[in-house]
Chains A and B, each alone.
Chain A
C-alpha cells in the first residue's frame, strides 16, 4: 500500500483522540497480518491470545505513535515484543511445527497447485534460520521494506539485506531440488 493511501496513520490519530471506532478499524485492518506474523513465532493455538495481547500493548503504547513515523513497523515491533515475552515463558515454535494453514492466501498461484506448492514453500521456509525466516516473511508476505524491518527488529539495514539475500538463495536451492515428503524438513 502506498504511504499516501495508508489510512492507518489518520486512524491512529483519531484513536489517540479517544475514538473507539478508530481502534476497531485499526484492528480490522491489521489483526490478520499480525496473527500471521505471530504464527511465525508461536504455535497456532496461542496466536489468538497473543494477537489480543498485541493490541492491548498497542493501547498502552498508543501515546508513543507519531504521525511522521511509519505505522506498520511500530505495530510489528510491539507484536514482536509480545512474541518475545511469550517465548521467554513458553519457548519458540520449532521448524517442524510450521503448518500449511499458517500460510496466507496470496502466496499460491492457483487452487490446483496450492496444496503441493504451499507445502514445498513451507518446508523450504522451515529450513531457514529464524532471523532469515522472519526477514523473508516480513518482506515478501507482509510487504515491509528492509528499512522498516531493520527498525522493528533492531538489526542494521545491511544485516537485513544480507538475511533476505541468504533466505532467497536458500529457498531457490531448496525449491530447485526434487519434491520431498511432508515431514522431511531436515535441510537443503
Chain B
C-alpha cells in the first residue's frame, strides 16, 4: 500500500473486533479442501458399487466407451469442486473465462454424454424403464455427504461470489456421483440418464445456487445492520 497518513482506529470498529478476537487457524489450502470432498465422494461411490454392484453390461461395453465418459464426469466434477474451494478465499477464485468454460462444459456433458453413449451402444430412446426415477434418488443420496461437506467448507471460508461457489460445489459433487452411477446403473438410454441422472446433478446445482443466494443475502442483511 502507498504511504498514507495515520488514521485512528474508530472506537466502534475496535470494540467489535475486540469482542470476537479469538485465535483462528488458517484454512487448509484449497487443494487439500477439495481433495477431502473428492475422497468423501469416492467413499460414497465405493459404498454404492459394493451394495448395488457394477452395471450388468460392463463386459459388453468397449473400454474407451466406458472410461472416457467416466473420466470426463470425474475430471470436470473434481475441477468444479476445486473451483468452489478456491472461491472460498477472496482473490483466489478462478478468472471469469475459466468459470464460464467450466460451467458450459459441465452442462454440455450432462446432455451430450448420455446421448452419445446411448447412440454408441445402440439403445432405443424410449425403452422400458426410461422414466425409472429410482436412480434419481440413489444419485441424490450418493452425492449428499460430499455436497454437505463442500457447503460447510465453502461457508467456513469467505466466498465473495457465494452463488458461484455453491453452484460449482453442487454441480461438482453431482458429477462425481454421476460418475459412480455410470459405473452402476444398468439402464443405458439417454432419456433415463437425462431425467434421473442429469436431473440429480441439476438438482444439486439448484440447491447450491439457493444456498449461495442465502449466504449472499444474509451477508447483506448483516452488513446493513
Complex CA–CA separation, A77 to B93 (angstroms): 10
* Range class of the A interface residue count: 35 or more
Q: How many A-B pairs with Cβ below 8 Å? A: 135
Q: Are A61 and B23 in contact (CB under 8 A)?
A: no
B27 at the interface (CB under 8 A from A): yes
Nearest CB in chain B: distance from A82 CB, A:
7
- In the assembled complex, which residues on chain B have CB atoms less than 8 Å from the CB atom of A142? 1-2
A75 to B223, CA, bound (A): 17
Interface residue stretch chosen among B6-14, B131-139, B204-212: B6-14
**Residues in chain B near residue A18, CB distance under 8 A:** 21-23
The answer on a CB contact under 8 Å between B220 and A64 is no
**B75 at the A/B interface (Cβ < 8 Å)?**
no
Q: Which of A30, A64, A74, A152 contacts B88 (CB 8 A)?
A: A64
| Alpha-carbon separation in the docked complex, A152 to B91 (Å) | 4
Q: Are B95 and A150 in contact (CB under 8 A)?
A: yes
Question: Is B97 positioned at the interface, with any CB of A under 8 Å from its CB?
Answer: yes
Q: Are B90 and A78 in contact (CB under 8 A)?
A: yes
* Segment 149-188 of A: residues with Cβ below 8 Å from B: 150-152, 154-157, 159
Closest CB-CB distance, B101 to chain A, in whole Å? 11
Per DSSP, are chain A's interface residues mostly helix, strand or loop, or mixed?
Answer: helix
A78: min CB distance to chain B, Å: 5
Q: How far apart sit A49 and B145, CA to CA, in the bound complex (Å)?
A: 40
If A16-B26, A31-B7 touch, does A156 touch B158 (CB 8 Å cutoff)? no
| Cβ distance B186 to chain A, nearest Cβ, rounded Å | 43
Tell yes or no: B161 within 8 A of A by CB: yes
Stretch of A21-29, A108-116, A117-125 lying at the B interface: A21-29
Judging by beta carbons under 8 Å apart, are A63 and B160 in contact?
A: no
Main secondary structure of the interface of B (DSSP, over half): loop
A155's closest neighbor in chain B, by CB? Answer: B96
Partner of A155, one of B20, B27, B95, B220: B95
In the complex, what distance in Å separates the CA atom of A33 from the CA atom of B224?
A: 23
Query: In whole angstroms, how far apart are the Cα atoms of A65 and B158 in the complex?
Result: 10
Contact with B along A86-108 (1 / 0, CB 8 A): 10110000000000000010100
* B94 to chain A: closest residue by CB: A154
**Chain B proximity mask over A109-148: 1 for CB below 8 Å, otherwise 0:** 0000000000000000000000000000000011100001
Residues of A close to B9: CB separation below 8 A: 24, 27-28
Smallest beta-carbon distance B68→chain A, Å: 29
Known: A16-B26, A18-B22, A32-B7. A151 touches B92 (CB 8 A): yes
B158 touches A61 (CB 8 A): yes
B108 interface residue (CB < 8 Å to A):
no
| Choice from B5, B23, B27, B161 contacting A17 with Cβ under 8 Å | B23
Contacts of B88 in A (CB 8 A): 64
For residue B50, CB closer than 8 A to chain A, the reply is no
Supposing A66-B26, A74-B90 touch, asked if A52 and B1 sit within 8 A by C-beta, the answer is no
- In the assembled complex, the Cα of A59 lies from the Cα of B88 at a distance in Å of 15
A20-B18, A27-B7, A61-B90 given; A33·B220 CB < 8 A: no
Interface flags for A1-29 (1: CB within 8 Å of B; 0: not) read 10000001000000011101001100111
For the complex, is B157 an interface residue (Cβ under 8 Å from A)? yes
Whether A76 sits at the interface, judged by CB under 8 Å, is yes
Closest to B1 in A: A33
Interface contact B92-A55, CB-CB below 8 Å: no
Q: Which residue from A35, A55, A73, A141 sits with its C-beta under 8 Å from B91? A: A73
Which residues of B does A touch, CB under 8 Å?
Answer: 1-7, 9-10, 12-14, 16-18, 20-27, 29, 88-99, 156-158, 160-161, 219-220, 223-224
What are 14 residue pairs bridging A and B, where the CB atoms are less than 8 Å apart in the complex?
Answer: A16-B24, A20-B18, A24-B9, A27-B7, A32-B5, A52-B12, A56-B16, A62-B24, A64-B158, A69-B91, A78-B90, A86-B223, A106-B3, A154-B95
